[in-house]
Structure 1
Amino acid sequence: MAKSLLIISRQAPWSGPSAREALDIALAGGAFDLPLGMLFMDDGVFQLAAAQQPASLQLKDLAANLQALPMFGVEKLFVCAHSVAERGLDPASLSLPVEVLDDAALAALIGRYDQVVTL
């Protein structure tokens, strides 16, 4: 049986390659039916903000990769409630449906997975 994997994405989409790498790992794992989930926290929640304009920073848009997650079987998407609130984002306006978790639920989530990768 395949080990489960939780990918924690903590970087904003415009702060370097980490956000894209986290999505690439998730898409690759999903393509091979690896049981995985993805948690967005800290500045990583900005990846889920709607109407981003990365071209102004000469960056590629991550929206297509994010929208592909469910098509690759990555349907367990989570976001840290504290991170969303701290950055002034409304969970209802995020670009993907995510489960909003408080600190206690985050600890329980991390404990449910066999392996955790943080980018």
Structure 2
Amino acid sequence: MARSMLLVTRQAPWAGPSAREALDVVLAGGAFDLPLGLLFLDDGVFQLAPAQQAARLQQKDLTANLQALPLFGVEALYASRSSLLARGLDASRLTLPVELLDDSELGALLNRYDHVITL
């Protein structure tokens, strides 16, 4: 039986390569039918913000990669409600449907997966 893995992405899409690397890992795992989840935490929730203008920062837009997640079988998508609130993001305007978790629910999520990787 395949071991499950949760990737926790904590970096804004324009803060360096970590956000892109997290998506690459999840997409690769999804291609191999691994049981995967992706948690957007801290500044990682900025990846879900609409109307990103990555080109202005000479970065690549991650929106297409995010939209491809369900095509690769990655449907277990989560976001920290408190991270969204702290950064002024409206949960109803996110670019992906995610399950919003309160801080008290994050520990239970982490315990559901065999492996947790934070990028």
Q: Using structure 2 for the length normalisation, give the TM-score.
A: 0.99
Partner of 1:49: 49
Partner of 1:84: 84
Q: Aligned residues, how many? A: 119
DSSP 3-state at the match of 1:16:
coil
Deviation at 1:104, TM superposition (A): 1.4
Counting only pairs closer than 5 Å after superposition, residues 21-60 of structure 1 correspond to structure 2 as 21-60=21-60
Partner of 2:3: 3
Partner of 2:73: 73
Partner of 1:101: 101
Partner of 1:14: 14
Counterpart Cα distance in 1 of 2:93 and 2:117: 26
Deviation at 1:103, TM superposition (A): 1.1
Q: List gaps (5 residues or longer) in structure 2.
A: none
Deviation at 1:20, TM superposition (A): 0.1
1:19-45 Cα distance to aligned partner (Å, 9 max, x none): 000000000000000001000010000
Counterpart Cα distance in 2 of 1:5 and 1:50: 27
Matched to 1:90, the amino acid is D
The share of aligned pairs that are identical, in percent, is: 69
Deviation at 1:78, TM superposition (A): 0.1
Counterpart Cα distance in 2 of 1:117 and 1:21: 11
Partner of 1:115: 115
1:76-116 Cα distance to aligned partner (Å, 9 max, x none): 00000110000000111000000000011111000000000
Counterpart Cα distance in 1 of 2:10 and 2:92: 20
Counterpart Cα distance in 1 of 2:36 and 2:106: 15
RMSD: 0.4
